[in-house]
Amino acid sequence: MFIRIPDFWVLTLFFLQLVSVNGIKLILELNTGETFSNFVSKYDQFLGSTKLKTQNIGFETISIGQFKAIKGDFGINLLKSAYFDKNIKSITFDRRLELLQVQSFAPKHLARLSQRQKLKGFQEFEYVYDSAAAIGVDIYIFDTGIYRDHPDFSGRVRKGGNFVINDASGESKLLQDPNGHGTAVAGVIGSETFGIAKKANLIDYKVVNKKGYTHVSTILKALNSAVLEIEETKRPSVIVLALGMSQKTHLLNHAIEAVVERGIAVVTGAGNSNQNACELTPASVNGVLTVGAIDINDSDHISEFSNWGACVDIFASGVDVPTLASDAHPNAEKSVVLKSGTSMSAGIAAGLVSYFMGMNDTATEAIKRTKMYGTNGAIPQNDFLFRPFTPNKVLFNCGGDPLW
């Protein structure tokens, strides 16, 4: 977040301390009417010998629809001028994002999805769904990688972009998903056993490192790449962002909004810090489907970690959800892992959005339908006592029988 500081010299000290001491790269968002060439021309005197127009590797440009940004090691004099430039929409540090996970240890989450009522301990768990199961839909999973060769994916996962540099060494360097988070999310999205979108195409966009974190600039580059690919294929597509920040960053929000404006569905988790999701990125992005977590093993109570508030659109199972293990796990192809977190909830919801898009919904229609047909009033009312403006709505797939 860029803080407005009235005093010019205080502003100078602010940037000197945070940029030179911490060595954090900065990202400048340009207004719609500004161009990269105009920016270079205007700040030519500050760029010195390392000029953007020479394609110097010290600078990177990102363009997604109307969204334009430039990342680099900008000097203090350029920043002082840019601060007062009306053509610079926002300035942010290249901040860190982390995976939305809490713990690791026909599945209940699918049975809950296809019925209005809470699960009962003695019932037979059945998942009722339309056999089209998101056929023809591409789902871009921005995560730690996917164990693409897992037989439960039936060959429907292909390698997309790899935006993680020098992520691992030794044996782990050979792994498709050294962390396991991406495979777990992909499992509830589109595996044959645990997934909703059982016939969708899954695209592995590796944007998070083995340790579970990434940066704003990495997400921007990946979004740009995915949008270009989607516009080339012209296929119905969903982007899953099962990661988040500890705060709200308007620049990244604007970039994701630009993706939504291109007719692409974006689904994210509400976050796992038990706070207002409207204070965080990407949970607060307009047009994105933001999903909170409930515990279907505990009468659909909101999980103790799930974020809440007006920016949450709907809830889905997010506690001890069974899914696939990655190739970092011993005997992965025969193992089932239990995962908790709004990442799992987001994965389930992304599968349902894709499921509706497989029935010829547009991205906007599918997200609207996901929210419209959710089950109202399923979450115990006491859960909302200290969670103001939070919707009481749980994901529902219409029991395999479309209601339209």
- The pairing of strands 375-376 and 393-394 is antiparallel
CA dist., res. 192 & res. 177, Å (int):
19
- Please say if 150 is a catalytic residue: no
* Three-class SS state of 194: coil
Render 169-192 in DSSP notation, one character per residue: -GGGGG-S-SSSHHHHHHHHHH-T
Rg for the chain, CA atoms, rounded:
22
- Inter-helix orientation angle 8-15/76-83, to 10°: 130
Q: Number of C-alpha atoms within 13 angstroms, CB side, residue 385? A: 5
- Please say if 109 is a catalytic residue: no
CA dist., res. 220 & res. 26, Å (int):
13
- Kindly give the residue spans of alpha helices, DSSP state H, lying in 179-287: 181-190, 216-233, 250-261
- Amino acid in the structure at residue 96: R
- Given 237, 343, 345, 354, which residue is catalytic? 343
- Given 143, 300, 327, 361, which residue is catalytic? 143
* Three-class SS state of 229: helix
Beta strands in 25-137, from DSSP E residues, in sequence order: 26-30, 59-64, 67-72, 88-93, 96-99, 103-104
Tokens 């591409």, located at residue: 138
CA dist., res. 245 & res. 257, Å (int):
17
Q: Tell me how long the chain is.
A: 404
DSSP state for residue 308 in the 8-state scheme: B
- Given 150, 181, 254, 329, which residue is catalytic? 181
Q: Number of C-alpha atoms within 13 angstroms, CB side, residue 301? A: 9
- Please say if 181 is a catalytic residue: yes
DSSP state for residue 68 in the 8-state scheme: E
Residues marked as catalytic: 143, 181, 343
